[in-house]
């Protein structure tokens, strides 16, 4: 059976959303981030990203990882693309060109959006310095989000004018910046696409499971 190592409060949401969309049976092997634990050596401590048990699966000690009947893969974007290609039907690529486009958009989000989007999410905006840092990160997102807006003015989704793993991968990165409302409100096509995708039952099911996990283990 397919195994996903990780928790919902992590980048595992990317393949876990895809799994909800497909209705794919799987086992979630809980692995919590070591930085979320006060003492990783305490008795009864849950298995975490620095546990020998998990490092035997992924020597990098990052989640999620995947084991699909013996085929082990790391990195959330790669896992999502793999699962979409093997099990996803319409959510996966129909040909080599669509596969390349799904990789392109996933890497675009990882390299051009994620760093600054994470700054927006993680920076406290209760000081002038924090507000300035958030604004600077938002300014860095103008160009990539304008590129997304232009693309989405002519199509409902990123690849093949249908919902695919590419939309999942990009939205799950773009989500980090969702609190900076003007980035979305000033781009109506991007906002409509984002809202349509995150209102899908698969996303809602994944997000409910994420919210059900304790924020502080």
Render pLDDT for 93-109 as a digit per residue (tens, 0 to 9). 999 999 999 999 999 99
Other Cβ atoms less than 10 A from the Cβ of 171: the count is 19
Structure pTM?
0.96
Q: What is the pLDDT of residue 108?
A: 98
Domain with CATH 1.20.1050.10 in the chain: 93-200
Per this entry, what is the length of the chain?
217
Report which of residues 217 and 52 the model is more confident about.
52
Read off the pLDDT of each residue in 132-149 and give the average, rounded to a whole number: 98
Mean pLDDT of the chain: 97
Query: What CATH number was assigned to the domain covering residues 93-200?
Result: 1.20.1050.10
The CATH architecture assigned to 2-90+204-212 reads 3-Layer(aba) Sandwich (3.40)
- Residue 134 has a CB neighbour count (10 Å cut-off) of 21
Alpha-carbon 147 to chain mean position: 20
**Crossing angle for the helix pair 188-198 and 165-174, to the nearest 10 degrees:** 110
Nearest to 109 by CA among 188, 60, 167: 167
Model confidence over 167-212: pLDDT tens digits?
999 999 999 999 999 999 999 999 999 999 999 999 999 999 999 9
Q: Are 158 and 189 in contact (CB under 8 A)?
A: no
**CB contact at 8 A, 144 and 112:** yes
């Amino acid at each position: 059976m397919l195994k996903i190592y990780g928790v919902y409060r992590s980048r595992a949401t990317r393949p876990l959303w895809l799994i909800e969309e497909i209705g794919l049976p799987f086992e979630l092997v809980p692995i919590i981030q070591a930085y979320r634990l006060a003492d990783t050596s305490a008795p009864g401590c849950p298995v975490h990203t620095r546990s020998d048990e998990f490092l035997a699966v992924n020597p990098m000690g990052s989640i999620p990882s995947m084991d699909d009947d013996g085929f082990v893969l790391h990195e959330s974007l790669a896992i999502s693309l793999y699962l979409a290609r093997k099990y996803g039907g319409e959510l996966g690529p129909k040909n080599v060109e669509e596969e390349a486009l799904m990789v392109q958009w996933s890497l675009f989000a990882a390299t051009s959006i994620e760093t600054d989007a994470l700054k927006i999410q993680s920076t406290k905006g209760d000081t002038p310095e924090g507000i300035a840092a958030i604004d600077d990160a938002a300014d860095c997102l103008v160009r990539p989000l304008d590129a997304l807006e232009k693309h989405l003015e002519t199509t409902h989704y990123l690849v093949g004018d249908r919902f695919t793993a590419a939309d999942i991968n990009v939205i799950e990165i773009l989500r980090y910046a969702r609190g900076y409302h003007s980035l979305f409100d000033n781009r109506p096509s991007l906002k409509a696409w984002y809202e349509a995708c995150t209102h899908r039952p698969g996303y809602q099911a994944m997000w409910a499971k994420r919210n059900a996990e304790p924020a502080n283990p």
